[in-house]
Amino acid sequence: MNMKLSFRWYGKDDPVSLEYISQIPGMRSIVSAVYEVKPGEVWPEESLAKMKEECEANHLVFDVVESIPVHENIKLGRGDVDHLLDVYCENIRRCAKYGIKCVTYNFMPVFDWTRTQLDKKAEDGSTSLVMYWEQMRGLDPLKDDIHLPGWDSSYTQDEVRELINAYGAIGEEGLWSNLEKFLKKVIPVAEECGVRMAIHPDDPPYPIFGLPRIITCEENLDRFLKIVDSPANSLCFCIGSLGCAASNDVVKMVRKYAEMDRIAFMHLRNVKLMDDGSFEESGHLSSCGSIDVYEVVKALAENHFDGYVRPDHGRMIWGETGKPGYGLFDRALGATYINGLFEAAEKAVKK
């Protein structure tokens, strides 16, 4: 197959072993990162070397990084930005040295993603991540102490308030100009070492608590890609994140950006959208959620997509426990579904 099937692995603390991952039919690549150092620090080469070795011992290739986190000071354009950008570039060089071809990152203020519950039970007894607006309404992080799942607990409430105010002050245009500075520094380095940078869209793709969000829709993705017009400046197209806004036509967007060869990495999962904009993460199949995953894959295959694909979050099923969204069983089912869709779609294109 043209596409490269991959699986996210959280390193030695991940309850899912590399051996189990390698037993998923068609599995090729591992998506991981150096988790033991903080954003803004250089990644030890030994850690990268060790991961590469462990993957190879399990007949897997460690060639995708998710993610090299972008320090808040880079996004805010304050403090030691130039030093932090140098560190970021050095990390790209080090990744490339150990075989990495694609690096995912995001440019979301403060929080990587927002959900109101991580273990919502469905009728069939499976659990998944959800965001219900009725649970969000009335919450004000500037006034209340809020602990939503997934929010970095290393921040104190006062630090969160300070960050929210700082982002409020720069607004969307401030965030765009800091992103531009980041791209103009980082993309030439990625080009030089044969790495494709892949930005992950905001999840969900609209402002929350007044924090600016810019990687949200077709118009903004167009603007993003034009800042540096290079295949090294690409998208990690997450259909589950962009698909949380009913206004995003993900099939049309995937077709357009695949045709332009600006998708380096695909995150495939499905979400069930509610009338009020709330959503539940569902099984991967088109019939389980609001996204037509078949049409997404068809758009990729018709454009001879040969980038990385991974089953994104899965539900917790069959009594499995572990990191919400990142169990083995449902993601393995997702991988098998993805294999089937791609085999059929790619063969249809060849005929």
Which of residues 238, 250, 251, 291 is near Mn ion by CB under 5 A?
A: 238
CA distance 124 to 127: 9
Are the CB atoms for 244 and 207 separated by under 8 Å?
no
Residue 302 contacts by C-beta under 8 Å, 6 or more apart in sequence? 255, 345, 349
Q: Toward Mn ion, which CB reaches closer, 164 or 215?
A: 215
Quick note: the x/- pattern for Mn ion over 139-158, rule CB under 5 A, is --------------------
DSSP lists the bridge partners of residue 152 as none
Catalytic residue among 55, 200, 236, 257: 200
Catalytic residue among 102, 267, 288, 308: 267
Q: Toward Mn ion, which CB reaches closer, 73 or 114?
A: 114
Q: Toward Mn ion, which CB reaches closer, 232 or 239?
A: 239
Residue 46 CB: number of other CB atoms within 10 A?
9
Q: How far is the CB of 268 from Mn ion (least distance, A)?
A: 9
CA 181 to chain centre: 21
Which of residues 28, 75, 267, 310 is near Mn ion by CB under 5 A?
A: 267
Buried b (16+ CB within 10 A) or exposed e, 186-218: bbebbbebebbbbbbbbbbbeebbebbbbbbbb
Q: Toward Mn ion, which CB reaches closer, 71 or 313?
A: 313
CA distance 212 to 72: 13
Q: Amino acid identity of 346?
A: E
Give the nearest residue (CB) to Mn ion.
Answer: 238
- Piece of 1-9, 79-87, 261-269, 316-324 that binds Mn ion (CB under 5 A): 261-269
Residue 8 interacts with Mn ion (CB under 5 A): yes or no: no
Q: Toward Mn ion, which CB reaches closer, 170 or 266?
A: 266
Active site residue 88: no
Active site residue 238: yes
Active site residue 200: yes
Q: How far is the CB of 305 from Mn ion (least distance, A)?
A: 17
Q: Toward Mn ion, which CB reaches closer, 265 or 342?
A: 265
Taking CA atoms, 196 is separated from 15, 204, 343, in Å, by 29, 24, 25
Window 310 to 349, contacts with Mn ion (CB under 5 A): 312
Residue 248 CB: number of other CB atoms within 10 A?
20
Active site residue 152: no
Q: Which helix (H) or strand (E) holds 273?
A: strand 270-273
Are the CB atoms for 315 and 281 separated by under 8 Å?
yes
Active site residue 80: no
Residue 63 interacts with Mn ion (CB under 5 A): yes or no: no
Q: Amino acid identity of 318?
A: W
Quick note: the x/- pattern for Mn ion over 87-126, rule CB under 5 A, is ----------------------------------------
Active site residue 304: no
CA distance 158 to 66: 29
- Tokens encoding 146: 């809020």
Residue 83 CB: number of other CB atoms within 10 A?
12
Q: How far is the CB of 262 from Mn ion (least distance, A)?
A: 17
Positions that interact with Mn ion (CB under 5 A): 238, 267, 312
Residues assigned a catalytic role: 200, 238, 267, 312-313, 326
